[in-house]
Amino acid sequence: MADLILENVFKRYDNNKKSKVLNDYAVNNLSLHCNEGEFIGILGPSGCGKTTTLRMIAGLEDITGGDISIGDIRLNNLEPKDRHIGLAFEDYALYPPLNVYDNIAFNLRAKKVSEEIIDEKIKKIAPLLKVDDLLKEKPISLSGGQKQRVNIARAIVREPKLLLLDEPLSHLDGKMRQVLRDEIKRLHREIKCTTIIVTHDQLEAMSLSDRMAIMKDGVLQQFGTPLEIYDDPANEFVAGFIGEPPMNLLTVTIVKEGEGFLFQFAEKNMKISVPERYNKVLKDGMKVRLGVRPTDVLIGTKKSPGSDVEVSVFESLGEERRLHFRVGEEFLTLITTEKIFYRPGDRVKLEFLSEKTHLFDMESGDKIRTE
């Protein structure tokens, strides 16, 4: 099996502004096992090490420590051209004097592939990327979306073992981005080439990836399917990073109430019940970080435990409505598609969906698990 395997990979830039202190790793002990044919997204804020990782796989950066291999072949010391990797970066870098056909053919000709085979390959690839009508055009007459299609066509025409995409859609406007996103997804299904995409756009990563790796400060935070990461974030960073609008993340004090517990918020008289499953791991007076997505906050009934809370802001946004409850300098937000209507000052009881209520350790940010 030609899986892509990263084992304890480190990267340190010496004599580089990026590393202010010794042992400041751009990539710190990264291990990833990507199955053959998988579509993997690497996602994180700028400076998290995602592009460095991609560049090490491509052979554009030295590897400070650890191994990168495809199947049994260790890539560390192979020249980029010997790694059988297709690259498509954010800027298209097409050769302006060459037409689309010659741009796509360029690397194959450099490898002395016969014109006959080149022609055959281009005829096969061009329709997949919808550039078959553009083969005679020069890059200057192409739109951004078309240039990126040609760019990707050029990367896959060599039938690489691995396709690397670095922010391929970030230059494009909203609609074109959506169209090309769909097409990349379909293309991947067609060619079944192991693909890694690096992006800062979480919608892009979630919609394309079979699995995503979330990175921060060079360290892998979580590796899983988009839904696993969305529903069960490993720590507070991942919880806050993934999801749009963001998860509510608030500091709460646990207070005992009868048999169960309540979350007490920064506004002292605001109390909402703690899902029962947390009873064994919590103590009276404990402080934790509460994480709950706005769509998992529900309007309760009169009988719901806890206090009623005051609506600070009501927004009617067409498809959905948002209620914001003031908590100190922050808001607790509820989003629903129900056709409800409230005014500021109205009071309601709130509940959190039990399975979707996350607690994180105040110090480490790690998720507090109930088992």
Within a 10 A sphere around the Cβ of 366, how many other Cβ atoms? 12
Which tokens sit at 231? Answer: 């529903």
Tell me the closest approach of the beta carbon of residue 323 to other proteins, in angstroms.
10
Tell me the closest approach of the beta carbon of residue 232 to other proteins, in angstroms.
13
Which tokens sit at 89? Answer: 């970066």
Separation of alpha carbons 367 and 235, rounded Å: 5
Using CB under 8 A, which of 319, 338, 363, 371 touches other proteins? 319
User: Is residue 296 helix, strand or coil?
Assistant: helix
Tell me the closest approach of the beta carbon of residue 61 to other proteins, in angstroms.
28
Examine residue 245 and tell whether it contacts other proteins (CB under 8 A): yes
User: Is residue 256 helix, strand or coil?
Assistant: strand
β-pairing, 287-292 vs 248-257, is: antiparallel
Reported as type and span, the H/E element at residue 291 is strand 287-292
Q: At residue 3, what is the residue type?
A: D
Cβ(196)–Cβ(162) under 8 Å? Answer: yes
Within a 10 A sphere around the Cβ of 111, how many other Cβ atoms? 9
Examine residue 182 and tell whether it contacts other proteins (CB under 8 A): yes
Using CB under 8 A, which of 10, 13, 106, 331 touches other proteins? 331
Q: At residue 145, what is the residue type?
A: G
- Closest among 165, 110, 157 to 131, alpha carbons compared: 157
Using CB under 8 A, which of 315, 362, 366, 369 touches other proteins? 315
By CB under 8 A, the residues from 136 to 175 that bind other proteins are 175
Examine residue 338 and tell whether it contacts other proteins (CB under 8 A): no
Examine residue 227 and tell whether it contacts other proteins (CB under 8 A): yes
Q: Which range in 1-9, 18-26, 225-233, 360-368 contacts other proteins by CB under 8 A?
A: 225-233
Cβ(300)–Cβ(309) under 8 Å? Answer: no
Separation of alpha carbons 69 and 9, rounded Å: 11
Select 25 or 241, whichever has its Cβ closest to other proteins: 241
Using CB under 8 A, which of 246, 260, 305, 365 touches other proteins? 246
Tell me the closest approach of the beta carbon of residue 106 to other proteins, in angstroms.
30
Tell me the closest approach of the beta carbon of residue 216 to other proteins, in angstroms.
15
Examine residue 314 and tell whether it contacts other proteins (CB under 8 A): yes
Tell me the closest approach of the beta carbon of residue 308 to other proteins, in angstroms.
18
Separation of alpha carbons 361 and 345, rounded Å: 33
Cβ(251)–Cβ(321) under 8 Å? Answer: no
Q: Which x/- pattern, by CB under 8 A, does the window 252-291 give for other proteins?
A: ----------------------------------------
Which residues make up the interface to other proteins (CB under 8 A)? Answer: 175, 178, 181-182, 185-186, 189, 203, 206-208, 226-227, 230, 242-246, 293, 295, 312-319, 322, 324, 326, 329-331, 333, 337, 339, 341-344
